[in-house]
């Protein structure tokens, strides 16, 4: 996954950038205020003037330049004036230079604050040679701190503030990340303990990857719960449905064992074979339905001609229909292409035809229609049987449902349930309605396959 497309990555980056900006501005501000107001070493302007004068008298202008440079390193711009002229160059603002002559001629010490955060001192000093001189000093603090001390204080404040802010923001970010992770862990443990109704149901304010993961977990848990509930239902239904044929089989075998007549025993054994075939058919359809409910793992799809598949299905059902003198009629387009599994679609068609033949009276007709309409393959199967009561139409495709008209017909109630699952996994729909004039009309719709032009593909 590309991290630059991750909302979680951008959220973390934004918070760390914010922390760095806060450290940069707040750290500088607090460090400056700390230097201004908490350092108790005040500048002694008189002693500073005496030091400057002594340096000038002992070493001349070069010694005064060295002294001034040292003061500059400590944050003070200072130098001597004699007869209104600077003995060393000083960096003073235009407004200060304009008012400086007036302060030099005043003849007394001056300590003013031209603007906030800036101090100006004019200190009178008398040399040993009797010459009057003035110290002019400019400082951004009323305290004396070495430049290295200032840097140490600034670095200490910034590091301390950086650790504090990054720690707080890191704690908040870690908490926002850890909460959905903890919810996922707790939900996973409950799922592992067998509580299949567990859901994370995380409603975080950010639609990041963790929120999406919680949603995926809920979808997975819902799917697992549905599958387990379905499997349990299938097992319960199967155990219920197997009781009757097993009981009959046990009774038949008991009669066969007690029978002294070989012909009579052979009849019992023939009945037992029919019950075994019934059990085999029931188990096979139950397994097929369970596999379909599980999502058809590994189902291979291919383009196929549904018209050809229906014609083949009619040929297979012709023998059973002929035995009851039932006529199968087909009205189909030349080629109706769909994408899917031929085996599953053939099984669904067999169930639909078998159901229609089962409930059709002798000598009746079963009408099939297959046409391409509005991007769908529409297959209709209409019989002329008793139909289905309107209240039972909605239940017709449920597994093991047998309507009131199916009392005298053999079957397990699984065929139409399998048909519906096959249609659903192929992206289609199926519905049943009572036809005008009697009988049941089942309509199946499947998406048409996208036809690929071979000439275009070769080009």
Q: How confident is the model over 227-247, as pLDDT tens digits?
A: 777 677 667 656 655 666 787
Q: Percent of the chain beyond pLDDT 70? A: 76
Least confident of 4-8, 185-189, 215-219, 427-431: 4-8
Q: With CA atoms as reference, report the closest residue to 82 among 51, 58, 56, 110.
A: 56
pLDDT band of 457, cuts 50, 70, 90: very low
Residues paired with residue 246 on neighbouring β-strands, in sequence order = none
Angle, CA of 5, 8 and 10, to the nearest 5°:
65
- The stretch 358-380 carries a mean pLDDT of 91
Q: How far is CA 142 from CA 81, 96, 118, 308, in A?
A: 22, 18, 9, 101
Query: Domain ranges in the chain?
Result: 3-37+150-183, 45-144, 209-293, 302-455
**Residue 182 pLDDT exceeds 50:** yes
Query: So what CATH class is 302-455?
Result: alpha beta
Give Cα 321 to chain centroid, integer Å.
54
> What CATH number has the domain spanning 209-293?
1.10.287
**Residue 387 pLDDT exceeds 70:** yes
Q: How confident is the model at residue 74, as a pLDDT?
A: 74
Encoded tokens for 6? 């991750």
Q: Report the predicted TM-score, pTM, of the whole model to 2 decimal places.
A: 0.45
**What is the rounded distance in angstroms from the CA atom of residue 370 to the CA atom of residue 328?**
14
**What is the rounded distance in angstroms from the CA atom of residue 391 to the CA atom of residue 405?**
12
| Domain 45-144 CATH assignment equals 1.10.3470 | no
The Cβ-side half-sphere exposure at 339, using a 13 Å CA radius, reads 10
- The stretch 273-284 carries a mean pLDDT of 76
H or E segment and range at residue 147: helix 147-192
Task: Tell me whether the CATH fold assigned to 45-144 matches the one assigned to 209-293.
Answer: no
Q: With CA atoms as reference, report the closest residue to 320 among 285, 277, 282, 366.
A: 366
**What is the rounded distance in angstroms from the CA atom of residue 136 to the CA atom of residue 92?**
10
Q: How far is CA 210 from CA 207, 266, 327, 383, in A?
A: 8, 68, 61, 54
pLDDT band of 207, cuts 50, 70, 90: low
pLDDT band of 405, cuts 50, 70, 90: low
**Residue 265 pLDDT exceeds 60:** yes
Query: Considering just the CA atoms, what is the radius of gyration of the chain in Å?
Result: 48
Q: Which residue's entry shows tokens 């039932």? A: 326
Angle, CA of 442, 448 and 450, to the nearest 5°:
170
């Amino acid at each position: 996954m590309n991290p630059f497309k991750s909302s979680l990555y951008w959220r973390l980056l934004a918070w760390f950038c914010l922390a760095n900006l806060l450290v940069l501005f707040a750290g500088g501000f607090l460090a400056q205020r700390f230097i201004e107001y908490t350092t108790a070493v005040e500048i002694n302007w008189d002693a500073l003037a005496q030091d400057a004068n002594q340096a000038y008298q002992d070493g001349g202008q070069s010694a005064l330049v060295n002294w001034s440079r040292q003061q500059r390193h400590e944050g003070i711009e200072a130098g001597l004036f004699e007869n209104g002229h600077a003995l060393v160059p000083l960096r003073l603002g235009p407004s200060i230079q304009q008012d400086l002559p007036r302060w030099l001629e005043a003849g007394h010490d001056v300590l003013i604050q031209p603007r906030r955060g800036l101090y100006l001192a004019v200190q009178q000093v008398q040399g040993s040679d009797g010459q009057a001189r003035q110290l002019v000093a400019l400082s951004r603090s009323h305290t004396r701190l070495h430049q290295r001390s200032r840097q140490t204080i600034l670095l200490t404040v910034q590091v301390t503030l950086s650790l504090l802010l990054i720690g707080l923001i890191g704690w908040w970010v870690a908490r926002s990340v850890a909460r959905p992770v903890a919810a996922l862990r707790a939900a996973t443990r409950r799922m592992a303990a067998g509580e299949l109704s567990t859901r994370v149901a995380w409603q975080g304010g950010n639609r990041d990857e963790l929120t999406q993961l919680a949603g995926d977990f809920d979808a997975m848990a819902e799917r697992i719960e549905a599958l387990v509930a379905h499997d349990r239902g299938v097992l319960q239904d199967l155990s219920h449905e197997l009781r009757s044929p097993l009981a009959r089989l046990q009774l038949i075998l008991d009669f066969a064992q007690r029978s002294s007549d070989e012909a009579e025993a052979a009849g019992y054994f023939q009945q037992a074979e029919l019950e075994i075939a019934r059990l085999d058919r029931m188990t096979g359809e139950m397994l097929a339905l369970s596999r379909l409910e599980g999502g058809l793992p590994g189902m291979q799809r291919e383009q196929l001609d549904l018209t050809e598949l229906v014609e083949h299905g009619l040929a297979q059902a012709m023998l059973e229909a002929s035995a009851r003198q039932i006529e199968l009629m087909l009205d189909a387009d030349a080629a109706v292409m769909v994408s899917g599994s031929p085996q599953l679609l053939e099984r669904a068609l067999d169930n639909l035809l078998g159901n229609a033949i089962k409930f059709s009276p002798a000598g009746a007709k079963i009408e099939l229609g297959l046409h391409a309409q509005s991007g769908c393959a529409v297959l209709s199967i209409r019989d002329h049987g008793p139909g289905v009561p309107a209240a039972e139409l909605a239940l017709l495709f449920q597994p093991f449902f047998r309507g009131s008209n199916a009392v005298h017909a053999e079957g397990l109630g699984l065929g139409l349930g399998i048909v519906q699952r096959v249609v659903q996994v192929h992206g289609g729909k199926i519905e049943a309605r009572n036809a005008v004039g009697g009988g049941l009309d089942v309509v199946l719709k499947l998406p048409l396959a996208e036809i690929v032009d071979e000439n275009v593909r070769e080009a």
